[in-house]
Structures are given as C-alpha cells and as structure tokens.
Structure 1
Amino acid sequence: MSDLYIFDPYDNLVAILSNDGEGACPFWDAPFKEVLNQGSTFEFTAVGDHEDSQYIKAENQVAFQDKDGAFRLFIIKEPERTDGEDGPIITAVCEAAMLELNDEVIEDVRPYNVTLKTAITKALEGVRWKVGEVAELGLNSTNYYYMTPTEAITECINKWGGELRDRVEIEGNRITGRFIDILRRRGEDIGKWWEIDKDILSITERVQSYPKTALYGRGSSLEIEDEEGEATGGYTRKISFADIEWKVKNGDPVDKPKGQKWVGDPEALVVFGRENTDGTLRHRKGIFESSEQEDPEVLLQETWDALQEQKYPISNFEMSVFLLEDIIGYEHEKVRLGDTTFALDYSFAKPIEVEERVISFEYDVSDPDNSGVVELGNFIDLYSDDARLDQIESELNDNKGLWNNGGKKPITDDRIENVTPTQPQNVIASGLFQNVLVEWDFVNTISIANYEVYASQIQGFTPDISNLAFRGKTSIYTHQAANNQQWYFRVRAVNTHGVAGPFSEKAMAQTARIISDDILFGPEIAEKLEI
C-alpha cells in the first residue's frame, strides 16, 4: 500500500496520509488511471476531521509511488468537503502535475536535424520540468511557434515517436526533480494470459459493426501543363483509378471495369451488403485517401488493400481483473501499461480470444495489490503527424494555383478583421482499419487561421490541450488510432487573432480488427485448433 505525500505549492512536505501509520490520516477510494500516451488521472477520499486533512486543499500537491516505485505527482484541483451520516469526509479530484506546462509559452524555437533528447530539452527550457530518460530515435526537425511546452512535447512525439511517462523525485521532505521521459515503448511482450476463471472478474466485449464493402480511391492533384508541356500554375482535381481495369482472369484480385471510380469486395458484399428492392445487394461504400499518390494503378492497389482492412466489424475489450503479481508464486503475472497480453473467455458460444496491448491501466492506490481495470487494444499513437501532414499537403496542392499569385502586397494578420468563426458543419468521422477519417465543411475565408480537432475515447469528453489531436487549415484529418477502438471528435475554427469559435457537434467512429488463430496462437497451435 502506498502513502500519499501532501506538499504545498512550494514543494514543502506538509502531511502524509496513510492507512498503516498509527494516528495517520486514512484515505480510500483512490483510483489512479493511466492511458498510453494520453496522460493520467487520480482522485482520493479521506476523513475530514483529522488534523492533516486541512492540507487537502486546492493547489496543494499529492505524490505517491506507483507499482514500479516511481513517484507520480498530481495537483489537487477540486477538493469537496461533505458532512453526513458517515461524518466529515474530503474527496479530492487531481490533475497530473505535468499539465502545469500548459501555463508556459514558447515563442519561437526551431530544432533542426537534432535528436529527440535535444528537441525535448529545448521544449523544456526555462521551466522546472527537466529531460529524463529519452529513447534514441534518430535525427529529425520540428518547430515550436507560440505554443505551450505540452504542445511542443506533442510535436516531438509527432516527429520522432516514443511513449510518454512523467515522474518526480523526492528527497527528505521536498520534491527535488520533475522529469519527462520519452521511452521507445511502455511495457513489453510478456506472454501474460488473462482468463475468466483465474484473474478476470468480468470482461466486456463491445462489438461495433460498421464494415465497408467498397471504397473510392482519391490520389494526388497533378499540375496542369499547356500544349507545349509548360506548367500553367493550375492543378487538377484529385486523381482516381477510373481508367484502370482489373480482371480476375488476368491475375487481379477482383473484376473492376474501366469507368468505375470504386473497387468492391464481392465476398464482403455477400456478407454485409444491403438488399435492394430487386433482391440484389448494395455495397457499403467509403473513401480512401492517398494524397501523394500520382499513379492510378498503385492507387487502386492501395485502395484494395485498405478495403481488406475495413470490411469487418470491430471489437473492444475492457476487463475488471485480479492483480496477482504480489502473491507468492505468481510473480510472473506482473502486468504494466503497454504490455502485450492475451485474454481468454470460453464461457460464450463464440469464445473470446484476443491478443492486444494494455492501453489503459487503473488500480486503487489505497489497495494496489487487489484488483484493477485494464483495457486491451493496440498503441494509440495520438500524436502521429505523418497522416495529417499528408492531408495538409493535399489541400495545399489543391489550392496552390490560387495562392501562387506573387507580386501583390502581403496580407498580414493585423489587417484581417477579428471575426469569431462559426461552428464547423457536417463533421463526419469514418472508421478505417487503424485510422479514423474526420471531415468537415471547409469555410474558404482568410480570417480563419486553422481548424482544431479534439479526439477522445470518452463519449462526453471536454476538449482541452490534453486531447487536441490536430491543428491545420484543411477540412480533413486522418486520426491514427488502433484496432478495436471507438473514438469521438469535436472540431472548431480559430481566427488569425487567436479567437476560437464554438465546437462542432460530436462525431464518432470505430476502427476495425481482424483476428485469426494463426495470428493469435501461432501456426502450430492454430493447426491443432483446426483438427
């Protein structure tokens, strides 16, 4: 069991809450939840008439040791005092201490051709959080222009990759260091098996059936040339594969006639197609984007490959579990955030058999050795920038002919009227295999500096910097998620003066997952299961 160390805002220890020490202030109901690359939450309840309870107040800090012995630090943000049948109690909702970085601003820093450690160091210059353990992920470049250090760290993960961990060091009665770690990955492939009759208290599989049976393909915009082969400054619409023909008899995976701008999967159509009035089946269609692809034949193949990933329903798994690692003889049952594990439940007519990473791990700090809640999925690379850059560049290509009108006096932000943007309309989220495509109506006005997309797996989430997924002047964004995931999105526009408009209505989508015995258990066991 871990104690809670209460510090004042100046890092001085003022009280220790404990359920072990005689005469100490006890606490309970202290869930600590950490989500891969999305931060952590913590709250706790304590008696309200103990002398030390006076220090459970807003802006004081609370630290505890996690299951690996690292100190985690939170700020008390919402203390609530209640007096009733059970006597006076205090419940404190806390915020991860690293979010204090949202109160700092980096004006203009441009790390170029540097290591991830150097880029993180520049992001944290002048603040009290320092660089901790940072993976070696090669050289890259980025820039921080009027953004918070939190956003700068996000930009680093965009470019280099890695997985975030925050921690503090405590010596004596003071906090002596605050550190940001960027690890190559959290957790490891441990071969852990969760089973319903062993350590799973309950398991919930949520199936979302939104398959696609056919996809349109959209590629790059090509530069227009005149009869002499000179560039005109204009650009075509995005290319398609309408002029490409596929025939099964020629070795192609499916028949696709010329003139057809989409490709369909006949097998998926039989299973998931919708019936027309004449008894024929109708495809469930979607759109595949590859905005730098200039070859229609390659675009067709890419679209077909994407369709194979999108033609199945998806599942998501959440489990309440026993944590067995502290029982003698069960040390091998240790599980941490990011670990790759198996979950099995043969109680259903169709058994649950899944191999996924632990992307969310929650346990009670007042009783850390008992039970917890885990969610299984693949790594949610919330901050990956490659896909969204692809979409931004696509929009730039589409409009390049309009913008390349040099020679005119530039229009600067201070010459643009400060008009509050309107609410984005027609926000649509479409689930792909490991991505979600988010689209909205683009308002072609110079007063809008960019659009912001906020993403969360929590249905009623509040948009803030912790779930800001994208910022750019475009009307499309590809969110890199994971298989078996359900995501919610809200969009808003921000003008050149930094004034944000209202958020859009919520949009929701799910990504897909394919599970086979061969993938789950390996070829040898899969062969035995077929017998």
Structure 2
Amino acid sequence: MIHITDGQTDQILDVITVSNIISDKHRQSLKDNLETFDFTTFSDKRFSQHLAKRNRIIIPGEDGELREFTIHETLKGLSRQSEVYASASYLELKKAKVIYPQTTNADSAEVHVSNTLSGTEWQPGNIAFNGVRTLTIENHTNPFAQLKRIASEFDLELRFRVEVSGSRVIGRYVDLVERVGRWRGREVTFGKDLVGIKRREKTDKIVTALLGLGPVREDGTRLEVFVEDKDALARWGRNGQHLIETYEPQSTDQNMTESRLRSLTENELEKRVKAALEYESNIADLEYVPGMENKKIRFGDTIKIKDTKFNPPLYLEARVHTQERSIVDQSNKKVTLGDFIEYTEEEVTAIWKSLQKQVAFKIGQSELADYTYTKTKIDDKDSAIYTDSTSYAYNQAQTAQSNAETYAYNRYENTKTTVENNAATWDKAGVFNADGTLNVDWLSGLLTDDQIASAGTWNAQGTYIDETGVYTGTILANQVIADNLSAISANLGTVTAGTLKAVTLEGVTGTFSGQLKTKNAIIGDGDGSKLNLQYTTGRYIRLEGNYPSDTVSELKIGDVTSATDTTLGQFDSLTLHTLDLTVGSSGDGYITAGTIYSDKLFANNGATIDGDIVSDGALLIGGSFTREYSSTRKLHENSTSDNNRHYFAPTDDNGNWNWGREFGYDWNLDTWYVDNALRVSASEILSANGYFRLRSKDGQHNGSIIINRATDEISFYQNGAFRHSFNPDGSKAGGSIDVDGQTLGMSPIDSPQILLEYVEFDVPITSEGTKIYLDPTYLKTVENFAAFPNNGKIVEKGIDYVVISGEGIADIRFIGERIGYAGAFYSDMNVDGEAAA
C-alpha cells in the first residue's frame, strides 16, 4: 500500500492499494546513500490527480518502518497507465539551506548533526558516540553533503527514517550508527535460495597502493604516509610495480597525527581494492516461507554465499551494498554485494579440517574438573536432596490433613446448632393433631383466647389454619371484621365497605348513595330495557366518554326547532352526510364558517360567498366570474372564442377591459400568449426539437436569442446572421466571417483554429539539454502541442515534455489544439444546418 501526502502540508491525500500497483521497485544504495522508488499504476483513478506537484509518497519498509519519497517525475501515456519516479525525501536536504564556510568546535557527532539539521524539517535520531572532532568547512555546502562528511569523519553510517501518526508525518530523523545491517547467520547456497550470481571485475580504477597526504600546515608542510596492499600488487601489478595514487582525507585538521592519517589511508585503499570486484545476485527471500522466518536478509547485512558449481568454486562473505525489492512481490530480492572476503575451495577445506580436529580433541581431566563434581560430592548431594524432599513431602501431608479436619468440624458445628434450635418447632404436628383434633397448643401460640372464643362454632371438616390465615367452607357469625374478605358466595344483610370488589352482582336492589364504578355496564336485554340519563335541570341529555371508531350510534328525533334561547344549537363541529337547507322568501339563509368542505355546492338563484373557496375537485362556472380587488380594478375571464383564444384581462381604473395586458391560450397552435412581459420563476421546459426565441418587439430577428433544445446551443442573431454560438461542453465560436455564402465563426481570438496556449517563464536551460514538463491540467485540454522557446532550441519532444538545449533563461510558449477539435478549421454557424431567415 502506498500513501500519497501533500507536498506542502504532509496531509494524507489518498491511498494506492496493492491491486492498483502494476509494478514497483524500491532501490537502496549504501555506496552513495541514494534511495529511489519507481512504480507503475493507473492514470484514471481517483488518486491519479495527486501523483504530481512534488507530492510525497510513503511506502512500508521490510520491518514495519516507513520510507518517504518525493515525486519528481510522472509519465502518462495512451495506455491509461502512469509511471511514477520518486527519490528519498531526505535528498531534499540538498536544497534545505546553505551552510557557510566555518570552523566548528571539537564536538561529538550528535552535536555536529544537530547543527547541520538546524532550521530543516529533519532532526537528530540515534547518534552513536565515537569521540569528538573539529571540522573546517572551506566551501559553501548543503546539509546532505555535510551529513555525509560527518559520517566519514566519525567512521559511522547514515540512516534516515520517518514516523507517522494518524494521517500525517510527525517526525523525520537522521541516525548515525556504527553499521547499517548486521550478521544474521544467513547463508545462501546455489540450488537452494541462490537463484543466480554474477561476478563483475572492474580494474579501470584499481590501485594497489596510496600515498596519503595530510592537511597543509601553517608552515606549508604536510604529513605523508605510504600504504600498500601486497595481495593486490600480486594480483594486478605489472613487473612488481604498484598502481599508485594520492589520497587526501576530507579533513582540515592541521594537527592530524601520522597514525590517524595512516588509518584513514588504509581504509580508503581497502575500499578501492574491494570496489574492483562486485557480485550481483538474485536471492530467493525465504523469510516468507512457513517455518523459515529466520532466513531474512536486510539492506547492509553481511551474508555468506556458496556456489560449488561456479568456476572456480565460490565461497564468499560479503555485505549487501545495493538492494532492489518489491513492496508487492516479496518472493525475490536482487542484491549487489560489496566489502567481500573471497575464499578459495582449498582455504575452506583447510578451515573445515581444522575445525574437525578441534572437535575430535578430548578434553583433559584437568579441564573436566572445572565443569563437574567428584563422585563423593555427587553422592552427598543426592543424599541431601532425598532428605530434603522427604521432609518437605511429610510437612505438606500434615498441613493438608489439619486443614481438612478443621473444615469438616466447622461445617458440622453449624449444621448441629441449626437442628437443635429448631427441633421443638419441627416436633409439632401443625393445626391438627394426628387423631384429627385441633392442636390448641400450636394455635395458642398464634391467637389469643378471646380471638379463639369469638370464632363461634368451628367446623373442622375441611378447615385449615396456618400462619397465613384461616381457610374454611362456611362461616356462621353475627359479625365479621376483616381488612380483606375473599369469598365465593355470601348471604349478607347489610354490607358496609369502602370498596366492594366483585365479579358478579345478581338480584341487587336498593339505593347507591355513593358511586358505582365499572369498566363495562350491561343494562337491559330486550325491548323493555331503558336507560334514562339526565340532569335535574332537564335542559341537557348528555353522554360523555370516548368511543371506538367502529361504534354504531343511532339517534332518532323529530323536527329540530330552534328554541328562543339563541345559545342552543351551536356546535364547534357538525359533520353531516347530507344538509338540505330551505330558506323562506321572507329572509336570507346563512351558513357561517371558516372553511366549507363539500363535494358540490349548488345555488339555484345565485349565491354570495364571503370567504375563500377551497376545492379539491373542479370549480364549475357556466359564465364569466369577477373577483373584485377594488371598486374599479377587476380580473375578467372571457369564455367566448376570439381568434381561437380564451384569455384573462384586467380592468383599468375606469372599469374598462384592458386587452393589451391579457394572457390566453390558443388551442389550435398549442401556444400560450402573454402580452407585454412574462416573468418565469421556475425552470422552462422545451419540447424535444423546439426553440425558445427572444426577439425585439417589432418582430424582427435581429437581437434574437435562440435556445436550440436539440443541441442545447445558445445562438445570437444580429444583422441577418448568427454571430455567436455557445455549446454545452464549454466551447464557443465568436465573431464571424462570410465566405462563399456561408457565415463562419472563429475562436474568441479570431483564429481559424481552436487553439489553447500558455507560457512557461524564466526557465533555466543548459547546453546539455533541460527537460521541461508541460502542465498536467493543460495536457488534459489539448490533443497535441507545439513549443516555441525564445532562447535555445528544441532537441527532443515527448508526449508531455520537451528538451531544450541552450544557455541562460528561456520563456517557452506552448500552443495546442483543443481536445476534440484537432484539425478543425472554422465552424459552421448555421443552426441545424439552416441559415437564419
């Protein structure tokens, strides 16, 4: 997965999933501290727009760390694919600031790194301590070059990393470590995980000796040391003569000692000798094979390679100097090896035999005594172990037995106490003795003697008494006083109770002085049943309550006669299926209401409605109607035919119809006519092939605006021709020229072609050639382009770039044909192919 971040804010813009990565290559080089990431993806996805403008991308490393890169080149072709080239973001340190010539204090590597990164977006990370150094900076430089020098001065190696939290980068760190990578015990064997290997020997820059030159002292002298490699001399020398060069360490320490100069020169000679040989190998990454997770290889690691079929047989110990990998396909990894130690087969065999002898050598008794005991000591230790273990087992058994006895005793005592405390209660038989007689002793514990005597005669047959109450079939008593009395049946004279709750009352007579409350009352079961409800005033007969929607109510009364009391007969709402109102000739009849809802409203001799008419149906009026807005200004509808039109017209202040302001409908032409002006507040809808014409009052076409519904074009007509046209895709043709009886439109700049252009200003160019990429947005608007520099010449042209050779500064003009109009020359300005009439 690749994250795309904004080149200025570090905000994550989008994510490229693995399925959208066509190919990719992540390359790291230890030799020059360079790191790149190139990949191919689709150019028509949502994220494609962000793969430009020096935006950044973040990819996963091999161990969960994150690697950040800056996009510096994007190539888009006709295959809907984009090639993206990006370099490590730490290379931006080359442009972060300028470091001026100076001499530093004698500081540690951490202090030097901190000063170098001050004012940049990077900060010191893990910095190993390796003494202090004074650095003299003689020429202007940049932070990246200075970091490389600090690493060289302190014999350390650079490592860069970033940290991300949420949706943005929160830290960028520079580490200086003793060694990038390590020995993980990884051995690669041909036929197993060594897919292929190449041995490259480059001798054009080989040396067998170096003359090290120290910094120039104040007196003009300098140290000199001679360092040679006799093995290299034997291998590459000629007639015993060295291949020698001079070497000046990157240091201005005038007090450099001879030993320090010699050490630096020896290190440099070793690097140059090893650089003559280079091994390039393809290694199967077994790390992701189940059970072989420990077979990992990382950038900078030291590995061992064995290839007995190589000629001569190859036994190599080397370090991964360059690594190429894929973040999608991790099955194969390509590495270039350096810092190698090469062994011949004879050397390996000799080492193996030496190891065999050491393994076969017997360890002497004196050496053995350092690692073991005598038999007597062993016997004494065995006896002590036996005694200790026996004593420990016996103590543990005694403790377990004591714990068990204590637990059982406690449980038994609790149960015994409970039984003894309740034995007297459990021995009693209850309310009846075993022979069926009443257990007075038990009962006396619950009731007083007076309570027992007042019970009258007890019928023991079926009677049961316990602590919750008395249960019996019949109770004969003059009076029963109880908080709650539940009975199946009762023959009672007078019942006095606060609340009487019963299921059924049968044959009940008398007067209820209180209230009778019940959810349901069934009164009557035939024609003779009556229900009379009234107030003592006799004025109202009223039923109050809530009735379900399916209740059927029937009320039969005679003629309704209004009483003298006018307050009677008023209703907030009266709903009737039919209202037949007859008004005598002696007066008017009125129905006064806020709103009258009716299917039909009939008036035989005319009706006056003082209010609004609201109808969900049709409003049928046989003649014309008048709505008075004032005493003179009215709206009149003429239902007679005049020129096949029905129209409305207002009246003026004198009551005259103003037919110059009418609007109407002509059913023959299927057209609405509006005189004077029309204001539309909603969208106008045209028929499929219709026109919407706006023209001057005198009826001429000059000044007309035509909206062509078929093509959605808007055209302006003036002086007998259409002069401007605007298309829905954003293109337009303006101006015009008459050629051979045709009116031709040109682009807004009076060009016969539809061209788009822009200028790149102040572009620095060199004689070797400078590559200039066109603006990505501009490329989307043209099909092809031409470039015109005011300085230099074009030596190469691609689908989205040009290469200009020259010296100095150039302004470059790019001109391209509008996309969709390549080769177009003039435009036919007729609408639908017909000239305007």
Class of the TM-score when normalised by the shorter of the 2 chains: 0.5 to 0.7
| Structure 2 residue aligned with 1:70 | 65
Query: Aligned with 1:49: secondary structure?
Result: coil
| Structure 2 residue aligned with 1:11 | 10
| 1:287 alignment partner, one of 224, 239, 244 | 244
Asked if 1:126 is matched to 2:88, the reply is: no
- Contact 2:29–2:321 at 8 Å: present in 1 too? yes
Equivalent positions of 1:368-387 (< 5 A) are 369-378=330-339
Query: C-alpha deviations, 1:378-402, integer Å up to 9, x for none?
Result: 1xxxxxxxxxxxxxxxxxxxxxxxx
Query: Aligned with 1:121: secondary structure?
Result: helix
Asked if 1:180 is matched to 2:174, the reply is: yes
Equivalent positions of 1:422-501 (< 5 A) are none
Query: Aligned with 2:321: secondary structure?
Result: strand
Indicate the percent of aligned positions where both proteins have the same amino acid: 22
Query: Aligned with 2:44: secondary structure?
Result: coil
Equivalent positions of 1:273-422 (< 5 A) are 282-287=239-244, 315-367=277-329, 369-378=330-339
Query: Aligned with 1:57: secondary structure?
Result: coil
Distance of aligned partners of 1:264 and 1:357 in 2 relative to their CA distance in 1, 3 Å threshold: closer
Distance of aligned partners of 1:7 and 1:219 in 2 relative to their CA distance in 1, 3 Å threshold: closer
Distance of aligned partners of 1:264 and 1:32 in 2 relative to their CA distance in 1, 3 Å threshold: closer
| Structure 2 residue aligned with 1:94 | 86
CA distance, structure 1, for counterparts of residue 270 and residue 97 of structure 2: 44
CA distance, structure 2, for counterparts of residue 311 and residue 155 of structure 1: 22
Query: C-alpha deviations, 1:159-194, integer Å up to 9, x for none?
Result: 212111111111111111111111221111122111
Query: 1:523: Cα distance to partner?
Result: 3.1
Distance of aligned partners of 1:217 and 1:45 in 2 relative to their CA distance in 1, 3 Å threshold: closer
CA distance, structure 1, for counterparts of residue 215 and residue 166 of structure 2: 63
Query: C-alpha deviations, 1:256-275, integer Å up to 9, x for none?
Result: xxxxxx99989977x8787x
Query: Aligned with 1:63: secondary structure?
Result: strand
CA distance, structure 1, for counterparts of residue 288 and residue 325 of structure 2: 14
Asked if 1:112 is matched to 2:110, the reply is: no
CA distance, structure 2, for counterparts of residue 163 and residue 221 of structure 1: 24
| Structure 1 residue aligned with 2:153 | 159
Query: 1:324: Cα distance to partner?
Result: 0.9
CA distance, structure 1, for counterparts of residue 215 and residue 52 of structure 2: 57
Distance of aligned partners of 1:207 and 1:526 in 2 relative to their CA distance in 1, 3 Å threshold: farther
CA distance, structure 2, for counterparts of residue 239 and residue 182 of structure 1: 30
Please tell me the residue identity of whatever aligns with 1:336: R
CA distance, structure 2, for counterparts of residue 325 and residue 140 of structure 1: 41
| Structure 2 residue aligned with 1:392 | none
CA distance, structure 1, for counterparts of residue 232 and residue 35 of structure 2: 43
Distance of aligned partners of 1:284 and 1:62 in 2 relative to their CA distance in 1, 3 Å threshold: same
Larger Rg: 2
Distance of aligned partners of 1:105 and 1:115 in 2 relative to their CA distance in 1, 3 Å threshold: same
CA distance, structure 1, for counterparts of residue 92 and residue 215 of structure 2: 43
Please tell me the residue identity of whatever aligns with 1:118: V
Query: Aligned with 2:135: secondary structure?
Result: coil
| Structure 1 residue aligned with 2:501 | none
Distance of aligned partners of 1:107 and 1:290 in 2 relative to their CA distance in 1, 3 Å threshold: closer
| Structure 2 residue aligned with 1:477 | none
| 1:137 alignment partner, one of 112, 130, 135 | 130
Please tell me the residue identity of whatever aligns with 1:286: L
Query: Aligned with 1:331: secondary structure?
Result: coil
Count of matched residue pairs: 344
Distance of aligned partners of 1:197 and 1:153 in 2 relative to their CA distance in 1, 3 Å threshold: same
Query: C-alpha deviations, 1:171-223, integer Å up to 9, x for none?
Result: 11111111111122111112211112111221111234679999797989999
Query: C-alpha deviations, 1:450-496, integer Å up to 9, x for none?
Result: xxxxxxxxxxxxxxxxxxxxxxxxxxxxxxxxx6xxxxxxxxxxxxx
Query: Aligned with 1:206: secondary structure?
Result: strand
CA distance, structure 1, for counterparts of residue 74 and residue 156 of structure 2: 34
Distance of aligned partners of 1:217 and 1:162 in 2 relative to their CA distance in 1, 3 Å threshold: closer
| Structure 2 residue aligned with 1:523 | 351
- Contact 1:268–1:311 at 8 Å: present in 2 too? no
Query: 1:7: Cα distance to partner?
Result: 0.7
Distance of aligned partners of 1:522 and 1:111 in 2 relative to their CA distance in 1, 3 Å threshold: farther
| Structure 2 residue aligned with 1:80 | 75
Please tell me the residue identity of whatever aligns with 1:48: S
Query: 1:104: Cα distance to partner?
Result: 2.5
Query: C-alpha deviations, 1:332-386, integer Å up to 9, x for none?
Result: 211111111111112234212110111111101122x2111011111xxxxxxxx
Please tell me the residue identity of whatever aligns with 1:100: E
Q: Which moved more, 1:309-318 or 1:88-97?
A: 309-318
Query: Aligned with 1:93: secondary structure?
Result: strand
Distance of aligned partners of 1:240 and 1:129 in 2 relative to their CA distance in 1, 3 Å threshold: closer
CA distance, structure 2, for counterparts of residue 143 and residue 159 of structure 1: 11
CA distance, structure 1, for counterparts of residue 99 and residue 229 of structure 2: 50
Equivalent positions of 1:169-248 (< 5 A) are 169-208=163-202
- Contact 1:211–1:284 at 8 Å: present in 2 too? no
| Structure 1 residue aligned with 2:757 | none
CA distance, structure 1, for counterparts of residue 136 and residue 213 of structure 2: 28
Please tell me the residue identity of whatever aligns with 1:160: F
Query: C-alpha deviations, 1:70-102, integer Å up to 9, x for none?
Result: 11100110000011xxx3001100011111111
CA distance, structure 2, for counterparts of residue 146 and residue 200 of structure 1: 46
Query: 1:515: Cα distance to partner?
Result: 3.5
CA distance, structure 2, for counterparts of residue 192 and residue 526 of structure 1: 23
CA distance, structure 1, for counterparts of residue 107 and residue 270 of structure 2: 38
- Contact 1:211–1:312 at 8 Å: present in 2 too? no
CA distance, structure 2, for counterparts of residue 155 and residue 8 of structure 1: 31
Q: Which moved more, 1:118-127 or 1:52-61?
A: 52-61
Query: C-alpha deviations, 1:109-131, integer Å up to 9, x for none?
Result: 64422221111111111111111
Query: 1:39: Cα distance to partner?
Result: 2.2
CA distance, structure 2, for counterparts of residue 166 and residue 516 of structure 1: 37
Distance of aligned partners of 1:115 and 1:329 in 2 relative to their CA distance in 1, 3 Å threshold: same
- Contact 1:218–1:287 at 8 Å: present in 2 too? no
- Contact 1:106–1:123 at 8 Å: present in 2 too? no
| Structure 2 residue aligned with 1:504 | none
CA distance, structure 2, for counterparts of residue 213 and residue 126 of structure 1: 42
Distance of aligned partners of 1:77 and 1:217 in 2 relative to their CA distance in 1, 3 Å threshold: closer
Query: 1:107: Cα distance to partner?
Result: 4.0
CA distance, structure 1, for counterparts of residue 274 and residue 156 of structure 2: 30
Distance of aligned partners of 1:528 and 1:113 in 2 relative to their CA distance in 1, 3 Å threshold: same
Please tell me the residue identity of whatever aligns with 1:126: G
Aligned-residue RMSD, C-alpha: 4.6
Query: Aligned with 1:120: secondary structure?
Result: helix
Distance of aligned partners of 1:267 and 1:13 in 2 relative to their CA distance in 1, 3 Å threshold: closer
| Structure 1 residue aligned with 2:513 | none
| Structure 1 residue aligned with 2:612 | none
